Amino acid sequence: MLVDSHCHLDFPDFSEELEAVVARAGDAGIGLMLTIGTKLEKFPGVLAIAERFPNVYCTVGVHPHEAEHDWGYAAETLVDLAKHPKVVGIGETGLDYFYDHSPRDLQIKSFRAHIEAARQTGLPLIVHTRDADDDTIRVMEEEKRAGDYSAVIHCFTGTQRLADASLAMGFFISLSGILTFKNAVDLRAVVKSVPTDRLLVETDSPYLAPIPHRGKRNEPAFTAHTAKFAADLKEEDQARFASATTENFFRLFNKIPRSALAQAA
């Protein structure tokens, strides 16, 4: 079975048919889903979904877009919220210089606070980065020297340099439906260089639906399309690729009991 390592089930796009969305994911072979926190004020809704479905877990964090508007907390706030058994990661956090919805200095402060929370909890960090390779690498490397932590670069669309730096720090790279887009030639070249034992798959739904659903609302069931495309790209058996990425997920998100997947099946 596959795992959708990054989705947003609390978004209004799913509100009217959440039960059906989760059911379709199971029918498509998606055993577990990780729904991601983006604002602290919306965290109770994220957690409620994880509590509602046995095959859904969640994270707590503040998206870089929200750093200016959801600031004023310390790492301890994230640490406290992460004590719940269904909270298995910190983020998403990081740097987004494409939109610059929040000042860059506040994005960096928020990023560092999340890393400290990941360090204190031992939970993995979920990193969003766009048009910010230099600062993302710099902050991650500085914080890595200050104390160990684990991480995944979610919805990877970066350069070979970002991939190499992330892998050198022991981090994972997660692939979204963007990999299937016709114009993602450079991304596919980078992904070919990433060892399979460091890859995850995700949807980032409701966004970025993979081919053949591009232009439609994305949902966790479509993880299967991205996984198939990635396996073919890397010339690997699809079943073995699915097994490997699921194993990678449990290695990273090790708060989740492996029995959770058996229960989902």
- Mean pLDDT, the chain, rounded, equals 96
Report the pLDDT value the prediction gives residue 69, as an integer from 0 to 100: 85
Report the pLDDT value the prediction gives residue 28, as an integer from 0 to 100: 97
* pLDDT, tens digit (0-9, with 9 covering 90-100), for 224-235: 999 999 999 999
* Confidence check: pLDDT of 262 > 90: no
Q: Rounded to 5 degrees, what are φ and ψ at 99?
A: -95, -30
* Confidence check: pLDDT of 72 > 70: no
Q: Which residue range(s) make up the domain with 137?
A: 2-264
> Does pTM surpass 0.85?
yes
* pLDDT, tens digit (0-9, with 9 covering 90-100), for 87-103: 999 999 999 999 999 99
CATH number of the domain that residue 203 is part of: 3.20.20.140
* pLDDT, tens digit (0-9, with 9 covering 90-100), for 156-172: 999 999 999 999 999 99
Mean pLDDT, residues 43-58 taken together: 98
Report the domain count for the chain: 1
